[in-house]
Amino acid sequence: MGTNLKGRLKNTMLPKNKAIFSLFEAVVNSIHSIDERINSCNDFTIEDAKIVVILNRELSLNIDSDRSLEDICGFTITDNGIGFNKENYKSFKTFDSEYKASLGCRGVGRLTWLKVFNKSHVDSRYMENGSIKELNFDFLPQTGISNISETSGNISEELQTTITLSDVNPDYYKTLPKSAETIAKQLLEHCIWYFLRDGGAPDIIIRDDGDSSVEISLIDVYDNYMASSSKRDTFKIYDVEFFITHVFVRSGTNSEHTLSFCAADRTVLDEPLTNKIVGLFGPIEIDNESYAYKGYVTSDFLSESVTPERTSFNISAFPSEITKGVEITMQEIKQEALAKVKSFLYKYLEENIIEGKERLCSFIANKAPRYQILQSKLSEEELVVNPRISDKDLDLKLYGYLSTLERELMAEGHDLMVPGNIEEKEDYSQRISGYMEKAIELKRSDLANYVAHRRVIIDLLEKAIQVTKSGKFNREDVIHKLIIPMICESTELRSEDTNLWLINESLAFHDFLASDKPLCSMASIECNSNKEPDILSLTLFDNPLLVGEQTGYQTMGSVTIIEFKKPMRNDFIENVETKDPIAQALGYLNRVREGQAQKNGRPIILAENVPGFCYIIGDLTPHMINCAKMKDLKLTHDRLGYFGYNSNFNAYIEVISFDKLIITAKQRNRAFFDKLGLPTN
């Protein structure tokens, strides 16, 4: 064959997942053979043409097993094309033959047969000078063309060529598809252009030797696959013409929207259109039916640039400084093709675009005002999201955009610290001014997020105090966890983990905080008591005015005790510490004052008269009211709580009903909610 076949096979690149390409090449050769016969014979038309592909499967040792489930070990492809006449046989024997160059052929497609299969055999009956001739030979990796047999046939016999591919290479064995339906679909997608062209494609039949009932016509698959007639568009890059054919297919066959780049009437590269076309989310609905979009890009330039294996193109991916404006790149081809796809699909996606933008704007306005800044920063396309996107996924998407803005601002801030060597003072001032405007916008976003978080916490608290589906109220630990995690100290908490602002804004300023931990286990207090206050908060005077000889010591500023009680609980007994929430809180206060406190290993002065603040959070049931009155507490003006000062304990005491807790929290934050457009009721 005038070349080293083993060397050519070694240098033929065919990825393991492209084993089916060996079948594609054989079928396309059959199509070319049929086309050649149609062009040379007036009495043979596309309606007379036929290609039969038989899937040969492994034999099973179990005679009762279903052979249609066995692995494929080969293919038999039969056509009634012009056959291996002298010209075609000569071309077959010549690698890189230009005999069918006008069809985009590279003369190496048959090498894929020997990459995937260890044996191929050809039986061809063709016409020569009015007589039927028969040609049979093997095509093997070791010897190339061998065992050649040429005989004269019967003039009454039909022209027919059969190619048998067998003995699968172990490297490709497992990557061959198993099902006849899958192979039929992949073969149609690869050869779709022959079905779209003027004149159409020959009837291609898929049969399965493991199941005699299987007979799939690609024309039938095509008719079920196609939604309507195709539409053709053109575009140019540096005066090179490209064509794009727009097609809708029924999404039940293949729901993925793709843009395919073709060479010589065959698809080479498929580009998924996910996230590339604004408004293209899921199937396209037309007249109450679902479709997928398929675009096919063709050009002489692509046919000339395809690799011999037809798995990619010898085209630069991106332009370089040297070749920009001169050499066509895949990036430019894709950009121009995508522009045509967007234009073609716009009328089908217009409703999606409107709904997608409304979905994003509604989410920001009602649930995530921190992202308001993005509405003026994102492009029109970025503002359109899938109308059916979940809140979680939309939040993550917008967070990604916001994070990018923050990174860009941080990088700009670092650059701003170093004025340019020749930069004018006025220019530098303008840069600072521009930077500060962006920074202020982003900080507003952080504030909006914090305020929105407060709105959500208030809503959750309202739900937590209501009767559950079981007809009972939630336990107090549900309320506790909403305000602060349980069994932890301030060293284990971030500021955003607590919602103490619900009770009192000043509680955010503390030096030590413990939640539902025994007094004896607190790192900052030496106390033998196993009592567990719901929340204990300590604040310190870091710079005491009068410390005498104890310079360097810190003095306790205040002690805060918070107790939660189950909604509508009504079994309290006044002045019994285990049953009276007010007495319980005062007991905790007393024990803290008696203990030894420290911070960072340094002692803290716990004066007996250090102010104490006790908050009891619970509904004003009759027993709770009795406990408050026994401590001489006064009813608040809104009649939703009690308050007072206990001189014996030097403590301010406040009983706050859940209704009061929610109402006052809303009142304190109402101005912020109004500014962000959040509901206040």
**DSSP per residue, 437-482:** HHHHHHHHHHHHHHHHHHHHHHHHHHHHTS--TTSSPPPHHHHHHH
Tell me the pLDDT band of 553, cut-offs 50, 70 and 90. very low
Q: Which residue has the higher pLDDT, 587 or 163?
A: 163
Tell me the pLDDT band of 580, cut-offs 50, 70 and 90. very high
Which residues are CB-neighbours of 411 under 8 A, at least 6 positions away? none
Which amino acid, residue 427? D
d(CA 639, CA 142): 99
Buried b (16+ CB within 10 A) or exposed e, 156-195: eeebbbbbbbeebeeebeeebbbebeebbbbbbbbbbbbb
pLDDT, tens digit (0-9, with 9 covering 90-100), for 518-539? 666 555 555 556 666 766 766 6
What is the average per-residue pLDDT within 458-477?
83
**Ramachandran category for residue 506: left, alpha or beta (phi over 0 → left; psi -120 to 50 → alpha):** alpha
What is the average per-residue pLDDT within 416-423?
60
Reported as half-sphere exposure (CB side, CA atoms, 13 A), residue 285 has a value of 7
**455 phi and psi, to 5 degrees?**
-60, -40
The confidence score (pLDDT) of residue 551 equals 37
Q: Which residue has the higher pLDDT, 475 or 394?
A: 394
Distances (CA, A) of 537 to 92, 598, 621, 623, 656: 89, 14, 27, 27, 18
Cα 200 vs. chain centroid, distance in angstroms? 39
Q: If DSSP states are collapsed to H, E and C, what string results for 369-418?
A: HHHHHHHHCCCCCCCCCCCCCCHHHHHHHHHHHHHHHHHHHHHHHHHHCC
Q: What is the chain's mean pLDDT, rounded?
A: 82
pLDDT, tens digit (0-9, with 9 covering 90-100), for 338-376? 999 999 999 999 999 999 999 999 998 888 877 887 888
d(CA 389, CA 302): 38
d(CA 37, CA 34): 5
Which of 15-19, 161-165, 175-179, 569-573 is most confident? 161-165
d(CA 331, CA 209): 44
**Across-strand partners of 564?**
617
Is the four-CA dihedral 79, 85, 87, 93 of positive or negative sign? Answer: positive
Query: Is residue 79 classed as helix, strand or coil in its secondary structure?
Result: strand
> What are the tokens at 3?
């070349």
Which amino acid, residue 133? K
Q: For residue 647, what is the DSSP state? A: T
Domains and CATH numbers, the chain: 1-59+69-222 (3.30.565.10), 357-430 (no CATH), 454-544+552-675 (3.40.91)
The confidence score (pLDDT) of residue 157 equals 79
Buried b (16+ CB within 10 A) or exposed e, 592-620: bbebebebeeeebebeeebebbbbbbbbb
pLDDT, tens digit (0-9, with 9 covering 90-100), for 196-252? 887 889 999 999 988 888 999 999 988 887 766 678 899 999 989 999 999 888 876
pLDDT above 90 covers a percentage of the chain that reads 34
Extended beta strands in 521-611, E state: 525-526, 535-541, 554-564, 596-599, 602-605
The confidence score (pLDDT) of residue 545 equals 29
Q: Which residue has the higher pLDDT, 59 or 55?
A: 55
Cα 578 vs. chain centroid, distance in angstroms? 54
d(CA 569, CA 614): 19
Closest CA to 140 of 337, 262, 1: 1
> DSSP H helical segments within 234-375, as ranges?
300-305, 330-366
pLDDT surpassing 90 at residue 63: no
The confidence score (pLDDT) of residue 548 equals 29
Are 500 and 507 within 8 A, CB to CB?
A: yes
d(CA 470, CA 468): 5
Which amino acid, residue 620? L
pTM: predicted TM-score of the whole model, two decimal places:
0.56
What is the average per-residue pLDDT within 385-413?
85
Tell me the pLDDT band of 100, cut-offs 50, 70 and 90. low
**Across-strand partners of 249?**
226, 292
d(CA 503, CA 662): 9
pLDDT surpassing 60 at residue 463: yes
Tell me the pLDDT band of 189, cut-offs 50, 70 and 90. confident
The confidence score (pLDDT) of residue 184 equals 92
Are 661 and 617 within 8 A, CB to CB?
A: yes
The confidence score (pLDDT) of residue 564 equals 87
Element counts in the chain: helices (H) and strands (E): 15, 25
What is the average per-residue pLDDT within 658-668?
90
Q: If DSSP states are collapsed to H, E and C, what string results for 43-54?
A: CCCCCCCEEEEE
In the block, tokens 């049929």 appear at 34
d(CA 188, CA 644): 84
Q: For residue 147, what is the DSSP state? A: E
Residues in the chain: 681
Given the DSSP bridges, would you call strands 612-617 and 554-564 parallel, antiparallel or unpaired?
parallel
d(CA 618, CA 566): 7
Is the four-CA dihedral 492, 495, 498, 500 of positive or negative sign? Answer: positive
What is the average per-residue pLDDT within 647-673?
89
d(CA 544, CA 561): 23
Helix 658-676 vs helix 425-464: crossing angle, to nearest 10:
150
pLDDT surpassing 60 at residue 19: yes
Q: For residue 595, what is the DSSP state? A: S
The confidence score (pLDDT) of residue 1 equals 43
d(CA 184, CA 311): 19
Widest CA span of the chain, in angstroms?
A: 126
Asked which of 148-162, 398-412, 503-517, 542-556 is least confident by mean pLDDT, the reply is 542-556
The confidence score (pLDDT) of residue 164 equals 96
pLDDT surpassing 90 at residue 165: yes
Tell me the pLDDT band of 6, cut-offs 50, 70 and 90. confident
CB count within 10 Å of CB 35 equals 19
pLDDT, tens digit (0-9, with 9 covering 90-100), for 300-333? 999 899 887 778 899 998 888 777 778 899 999 9
Which of 191-195, 245-249, 509-513 is most confident? 245-249
> What are the tokens at 175?
């990557």
What is the average per-residue pLDDT within 396-421?
75
